[in-house]
Amino acid sequence: MNPILERVVSLAQRQPPDSPLQAIFDLDSTLFDVSPRITKIIHLFASLERIKTSYPKESAKLLKLEAHESDYGVKKTLMRIGFLPPDLEFIHDLVDFWKKAFFSNQFLEYDRPYAGAAGFVNALHKAGATIYYLTGRDVPRMLEGTVKSLRDNGFPLSDGNQGLVLKPSSDISDHEFKAQFFKTFNSKSTETWFFENEPKNIHLVEKVSPQIKIIFVETVHSGKDPEPEKHIPRISGFK
């Protein structure tokens, strides 16, 4: 196991029972590789009758596409394969379809946990840590599928889904939601660790809660913000 991860497990084992280590995990692109979800949605769009009829060449090309672990979102995936649609309406249609599908319960079953992710979260749980999942997914569209996906993939989750924190609605941005969570988070522990892939979220959480220990999970991110500086430890995975 990565020495940083080993250290967190060992810290969890040494914490007193009345002050357990708290480990907070983002989901998308932190614990889960979402590229199979992206692939499935693009294939479904490409196989719609109206798309096959109006755009036969584009449809055939999209049906061969496999999103990579290193692809972020739908636009970057399409750009990587040099997909240049013949008209803008087609791409708008695809992106709209993708957004509705990606942020829904329906396709979460295609997400694949990164190697070692479930093992690491379970090791922490067994070591006495309290586990939280803090995600930009929202309750109305994605709670049900998120619970099923965590359970099906062997992540620890209590019967009442304690510690699972989703946005109450899609109106709030991910980074504001996460910053708000930490502002009001009543930490019972001296050891609170946050695992996250998105630099923007990391920067804001670091600002509002400097006592939180943050690990940058170096998978993929939006590229909207510069990556965290060297004082934030980073891991490339959970193996």
Residues that bind Mg ion (CB under 5 A): 26, 28-30, 197
As measured in angstroms, the least distance from the Cβ of 220 to Mg ion is 9
The CA distances from residue 32 to 18, 45, 139, 176, 185, in Å, are: 31, 23, 18, 22, 24
Query: Pairing between strand 213-217 and 192-196?
Result: parallel
As measured in angstroms, the least distance from the Cβ of 89 to Mg ion is 30
As measured in angstroms, the least distance from the Cβ of 112 to Mg ion is 14
As measured in angstroms, the least distance from the Cβ of 52 to Mg ion is 33
Distance CA(111)–CA(153), nearest Å, equals 9
Check the CA dihedral 196-204-172-220 and report its sign: negative
Complex with Mg ion: residue 127 or 215, whichever CB lies closer: 215
Complex with Mg ion: residue 22 or 29, whichever CB lies closer: 29
Distance CA(182)–CA(156), nearest Å, equals 22
CB contact at 8 A, 37 and 102: yes
Distance CA(175)–CA(158), nearest Å, equals 26
Complex with Mg ion: residue 55 or 132, whichever CB lies closer: 132
Complex with Mg ion: residue 22 or 30, whichever CB lies closer: 30
Complex with Mg ion: residue 12 or 217, whichever CB lies closer: 217
As measured in angstroms, the least distance from the Cβ of 129 to Mg ion is 20
As measured in angstroms, the least distance from the Cβ of 231 to Mg ion is 21
Complex with Mg ion: residue 28 or 206, whichever CB lies closer: 28
Helix (H), strand (E) at residue 13: helix 3-14
Check the CA dihedral 78-83-88-91 and report its sign: negative
